[in-house]
């Protein structure tokens, strides 16, 4: 698509990263995307290749195996993943937010122990917070962690855990306080899944989109972890530690939403100009052009809003939770609306899974639900008005 717009935070160095990331997604992920979707997970060598190229954990400090780069570096990688119309690789949950959750909550010793494996792609991390009766209402969590000598014993049930089936490491939220302890009774633990027989993957859920990412139900049945696996070393801080990191996750969802919408528009313009019907092209109908200009304008408004937030972060300003929540709800709504309007212009082909626009459509829907549902976020934003 012919556009002279360039994000104000882009640099020559980030252009080079974009080239590397684009090549990685085009060579390593896109050709196997269908296979990954069928098997509900990506092959290990893809994680490892990404780690070798330095594409994982870009903003994690170098002392822990990351790149010590800026958030803008991560944005470039997210945008390039959106470009191939596939969330197969799962950068958002698997390579970006999981490590960010861990980095934001763990002690120096814990980061030294586990982060290099995650950053190199040799260890896959999942984050286990949600439970069947505690989704939006995280404070209703029932999973318990009971101290027994030098260990904690975890019991409970986690659901919707991205990468749960593949994970070598699981960052698990559990209640160390009593039943009525609310937010103050929640702590985080690292479980090394292979060494913990009580960590059980009950089933991989069959979803309507994002199928190459396994989303699992996990049972914790007397799962024993050494006491030093208590994240941050202090009980009762888990909920507050998590809330801080959620902010960055929400912004990321908004960023991916706008990037996917932009890609949908590009694909649709190309399709409309080539698709012949009734003695002209689809593009020649005024409705097509009006629709796509409206979509482009919506996407640009989103892009400018997100660019401002990213620029502020790059300039060292703290990310405001409300900004991240607005970016998330608005970006994901626009993602769904724009992709739906674009799909309509593909006619029946838009309904066929092998077309990238269909993948964008199926993968988009969850963005309005996870990371805090859009309704929940509006409710939180309204409290400050």
Ligand X SMILES: Cc1cc2nc3c(=O)[nH]c(=O)nc-3n(C[C@H](O)[C@H](O)[C@H](O)COP(=O)(O)OP(=O)(O)OC[C@H]3O[C@@H](n4cnc5c(N)ncnc54)[C@H](O)[C@@H]3O)c2cc1C
Residue (90 or 116) nearer to ligand X, CB: 90
Q: Does 128 bind ligand X (CB under 6 A)?
A: yes
Query: Which of 130, 144, 211, 359 contacts ligand X by CB under 6 A?
Result: 130
Question: Six-digit token pair at 132?
Answer: 């069947």
Please list the residues that pair with 187 across neighbouring strands: 174
Quick one: which H or E segment has residue 360?
helix 356-364
Residues in the chain: 385
Q: Candidates 43-51, 67-75, 187-195, 368-376: pick the segment binding ligand X (CB under 6 A).
A: 368-376
Q: Which of 148, 249, 262, 375 is catalytic?
A: 249
Distance between CA atoms of residues 97 and 186, nearest Å: 20
Distance between CA atoms of residues 287 and 282, nearest Å: 9
Residue (160 or 346) nearer to ligand X, CB: 160
Query: Which of 93, 121, 185, 238 contacts ligand X by CB under 6 A?
Result: 93
What is the closest distance, in whole angstroms, from the C-beta atom of residue 340 to ligand X in the complex?
19
DSSP 8-state class, residue 131: B
Distance between CA atoms of residues 298 and 260, nearest Å: 13
Query: Which of 3, 11, 63, 136 contacts ligand X by CB under 6 A?
Result: 136
Q: Does 99 bind ligand X (CB under 6 A)?
A: no
Q: Does 160 bind ligand X (CB under 6 A)?
A: yes
Letters for 171-210 (x = contact with ligand X by CB under 6 A, - = none) are ------------------------------------x--x
Beta strands in 125-252 (DSSP E): 125-128, 144-148, 151-162, 169-175, 186-192, 199-204, 215-226
Residue nearest to ligand X (CB): 135
Q: Is 249 a catalytic residue?
A: yes
Q: Does 92 bind ligand X (CB under 6 A)?
A: no
Question: Six-digit token pair at 257?
Answer: 């939403």
**Cα torsion at 218, 219, 222, 226 (round to 10°)?**
10
Catalytic residues, by residue number, are 249
Please give the residue ranges that form the binding site for ligand X (CB under 6 A): 93, 127-130, 135-136, 160-162, 207, 210, 215, 366, 369-370, 373, 375-376, 379
């Amino acid at each position: 698509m012919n556009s002279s717009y360039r994000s104000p935070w882009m640099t020559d160095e980030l252009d080079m990263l974009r080239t590397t990331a684009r090549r990685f997604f085009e060579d390593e992920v896109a050709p196997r995307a269908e296979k990954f979707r069928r098997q509900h997970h990506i092959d290990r060598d893809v994680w490892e290749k990404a780690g070798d190229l330095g594409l994982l954990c870009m903003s994690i400090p170098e002392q822990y195996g990351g790149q010590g780069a800026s958030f803008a570096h991560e944005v470039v990688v997210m945008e390039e993943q959106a470009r191939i119309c596939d969330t197969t690789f799962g950068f958002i949950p698997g390579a970006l937010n999981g490590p960010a959750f861990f980095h934001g909550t763990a002690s120096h010793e814990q980061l030294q122990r586990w982060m290099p494996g995650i950053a190199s792609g040799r260890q896959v991390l999942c984050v286990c917070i949600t439970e069947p009766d505690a989704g939006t209402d995280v404070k209703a969590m029932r999973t318990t962690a009971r101290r027994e000598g030098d260990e904690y014993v975890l019991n409970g049930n986690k659901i919707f855990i991205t990468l749960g089936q593949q994970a070598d490491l699981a960052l698990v939220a559990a209640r160390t306080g009593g039943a009525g302890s609310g937010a103050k009774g929640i702590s985080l633990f690292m479980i090394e899944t292979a060494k913990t027989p009580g960590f059980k993957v009950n089933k991989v859920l069959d979803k309507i989109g994002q199928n190459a990412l396994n989303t699992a139900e996990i049972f914790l049945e007397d799962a024993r972890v050494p006491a030093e696996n208590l994240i941050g070393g202090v009980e009762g801080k888990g909920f507050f530690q998590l809330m801080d990191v959620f902010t960055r996750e929400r912004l990321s969802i908004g960023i991916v939403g706008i990037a996917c919408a932009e890609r949908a528009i590009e694909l649709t313009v190309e399709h409309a100009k080539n698709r012949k019907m009734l003695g002209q092209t689809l593009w020649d109908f005024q409705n097509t052009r009006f629709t796509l200009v409206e979509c482009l304008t919506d996407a640009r408004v989103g892009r400018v809003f997100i660019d401002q937030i990213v620029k502020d972060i790059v300039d060292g300003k703290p990310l405001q939770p409300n900004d991240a929540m607005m970016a998330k709800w608005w970006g994901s709504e626009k993602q769904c609306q724009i992709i739906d309007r674009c799909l309509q212009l593909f006619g029946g082909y838009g309904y066929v899974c092998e077309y990238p626009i269909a993948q964008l459509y199926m993968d988009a829907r969850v963005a309005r639900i996870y990371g805090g549902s859009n309704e929940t976020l509006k409710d939180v934003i309204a409290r400050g008005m």
